[in-house]
Amino acid sequence: MAMRAFTCPDCRHLVTFDSTVCLHSQTALGFDWEARDVVALPDGGACGNRELIACNGVAGPGGLCASCALTRTRPADGDAEGIALFADAEGAKRRLLFELLELGLPVDGFREKEGGLAFDLLSSAAGPVTTGHADGVITLDLAEADPAHRERMRTQLDEPYRTVLGHMRHEVAHYYQPILAPEGSAALERCRALLGDDREAYSTAMDRHYEQGAPAGWESHFVSAYATMHPWEDWAETFAHYLHIRDVLQTAVAYGVSVTGPQVLAADAAPLYAFPAAAPDDLRAMLDTWLPLTYALNAINRSLGAQDLYPFVLAPDVIDKLAFIDELVRAA
């Protein structure tokens, strides 16, 4: 589910991004956030959450790793169920942070500046929790880390895709919108031209969406039904989708995944082969690799009796929005 491939610094056997120990050499491992690489865990360098949730980060100032330091509120140590869900949510957050840093996006935590990025990871078993973003604070209902709850919600809301990492990518998109397209900028004007005028009252748009649903034919202009609710949500859904694409393509390159196309005669004008390692560094060209890769992944999932791994269709209008976001990310 993520990124580059990593090896043990001692024996060079393959390890995962989340590894705390190499199973071959028994070397204690840590993830060094400054180097963004797996290293031999230095003495006294373990994140303060290593024992609690198996965080493998190398501690920074204050005793927490760079990812855990972004968490402002979490369940109490004595809340066994909440801590188990918290561990899963923190695992998703580490992957999110890695990608943001790999893309070169600014990550300023709430401990560093007012309005900086912060996460409140809260259990709705202890009281009502609304997943969302406000002034740099991302709130997540930890029930989303429970697969049974998440599947019930996905079915109830008729969503094709729902994951903890997906939630985090969506909410962090709200954090980045005023950073990448600030008030008074040309970027914001382009954003409004492509995605709509965000000055429309959000509460009015939300009421309309939940009363009437997505408009007919939304698939031709939006990446998801939820994106139709308000331009802010169109931005968040599209930005999250952009992060999906960039992360999966980086992973495919790291593991040498390629698709030479189905062994059939086909009249498709678009390429049916995917060589991610050779894809040009341009979003529209990258999609020529992305789409054939998803065709193959979906076919494999269906062979296992599972749902499509990538249950989306990217209309030309959506591609225009993705390309715009790609321009802003690269400029940042």
Task: Tell me, yes or no, whether 57 lies in a domain.
Answer: yes
User: Do 230 and 287 belong to one domain?
Assistant: yes
User: Do 76 and 215 belong to one domain?
Assistant: no
pLDDT tops 70 at residue 72: yes
User: Do 118 and 141 belong to one domain?
Assistant: yes
pLDDT tops 80 at residue 119: yes
Q: Which amino acid is at 215?
A: P
Task: Tell me, yes or no, whether 170 lies in a domain.
Answer: no
What pLDDT does 158 receive?
Answer: 86
User: Do 21 and 40 belong to one domain?
Assistant: yes
Angle between helices 164-180 and 80-102 (to 10 degrees): 50
Per DSSP, helices labelled H in the chain are: 50-53, 80-102, 147-156, 164-180, 186-195, 202-212, 231-254, 283-303, 316-331
CB atoms within 10 A of CB 108: 14
Could you tell me whether strands 29-32 and 37-40 are parallel, antiparallel, or unpaired per DSSP bridges? antiparallel
* Residue 1: band (very low, low, confident or very high) from pLDDT cuts 50, 70, 90: very low
Mean predicted lDDT score pLDDT of the chain: 93
User: Do 305 and 196 belong to one domain?
Assistant: yes
Interatomic CA distance for residues 148 and 278, integer angstroms: 39
pTM for the full model?
0.93
Task: Tell me, yes or no, whether 176 lies in a domain.
Answer: no
Interatomic CA distance for residues 69 and 58, integer angstroms: 11
What pLDDT does 293 receive?
Answer: 93
What pLDDT does 268 receive?
Answer: 62
Task: Tell me, yes or no, whether 24 lies in a domain.
Answer: yes
Domain stop point among 15, 38, 61: 61
Which of 323, 314, 110 has its CA nearest to residue 227?
314
User: Do 156 and 287 belong to one domain?
Assistant: no
Domain stop point among 19, 37, 61: 61
User: Do 150 and 33 belong to one domain?
Assistant: no
Higher-confidence position of 125 and 301: 301
* Residue 118: band (very low, low, confident or very high) from pLDDT cuts 50, 70, 90: very high
Task: Tell me, yes or no, whether 173 lies in a domain.
Answer: no
Task: Tell me, yes or no, whether 171 lies in a domain.
Answer: no
User: Do 192 and 302 belong to one domain?
Assistant: yes
* Residue 214: band (very low, low, confident or very high) from pLDDT cuts 50, 70, 90: very high
User: Do 325 and 203 belong to one domain?
Assistant: yes
Domains: count for the chain: 3
Q: Write out the DSSP string of 145-205.
A: GSHHHHHHHHHHTT-S---HHHHHHHHHHHHHHHHHS-TTSHHHHHHHHHH--TTS-HHHH
Task: Tell me, yes or no, whether 313 lies in a domain.
Answer: yes
Domain stop point among 12, 45, 61: 61
Which of 199-213, 264-278, 305-319 shows the lowest mean pLDDT across its residues?
264-278
Task: Tell me, yes or no, whether 290 lies in a domain.
Answer: yes
* Strand order through the sheet with 132-134: 71-73, 118-122, 137-141, 132-134
User: Do 230 and 105 belong to one domain?
Assistant: no
pLDDT, tens digit (0-9, with 9 covering 90-100), for 227-256: 999 999 999 999 999 999 999 999 999 999
* Residue 2: band (very low, low, confident or very high) from pLDDT cuts 50, 70, 90: very low
User: Do 152 and 186 belong to one domain?
Assistant: no
What pLDDT does 228 receive?
Answer: 97
Token pair 């009421």 is found at 207
DSSP state letter for 219? G
Domain containing residue 311: 181-331
- Compute CA 102 distance to the chain's CA centroid, rounded to the nearest angstrom: 13
User: Do 122 and 221 belong to one domain?
Assistant: no
Interatomic CA distance for residues 132 and 138, integer angstroms: 6
